[in-house]
Amino acid sequence: MNLPFPRAITLLSMLVPLLTAVTLGSPDAVPPGNYGGEHVIMEVSKNGATFEFDCAHGETHAPLALDKQGNFQVAGTFTAEHGGPVRENEVRSPTPATYSGRVDAENLRLNVKVKDQQVGTFNLVRDAHPLLRKCR
């Protein structure tokens, strides 16, 4: 197929961004993968994220959508854990939580709030796997 040169350039200029987005993943969400930092490991999927803290765990069931500045905020749950033996019938109820933060290249800053209480702010790096000190 012979396209006139200007028309071919126009077609290519429309396809390159589309192919880049498909190849690199959507820049509209936190890229899937593992992020680690001191006292936290975060595993992001296209459908949400799971969090493992020293003495707690949490999850979200919605994508971590990014605004134009690289910020995200999503509702989820946070379940506190404790040290020592766990009773046979002990059930820890998850508490509503808000996970928010900012992505900047391979770095991610994570803020965790349970109800209106700040649990912590964490600095994570993509593909880092720190050792957690579980209190179980």
Examine residue 19 and state whether it is found in any structural domain, yes or no: no
The answer to whether 30 touches 107, Cβ cutoff 8 Å, is: no
Percent of the chain beyond pLDDT 90?
Answer: 62
Examine residue 86 and state whether it is found in any structural domain, yes or no: yes
The answer to whether 64 touches 44, Cβ cutoff 8 Å, is: yes
Q: How many domains does the chain have?
A: 1
The answer to whether 71 touches 101, Cβ cutoff 8 Å, is: yes
Print the domain residue range for 93. 26-126
**DSSP for residue 45:** E
For residue range 20-39, list pLDDT tens digits in order. 444 444 469 999 999 999 99
What pTM, to 2 d.p., does this model score?
A: 0.75
Q: Where would I find the H helices in 1-132?
A: 5-24
Q: Does the structure show a pLDDT above 50 at 17?
A: no
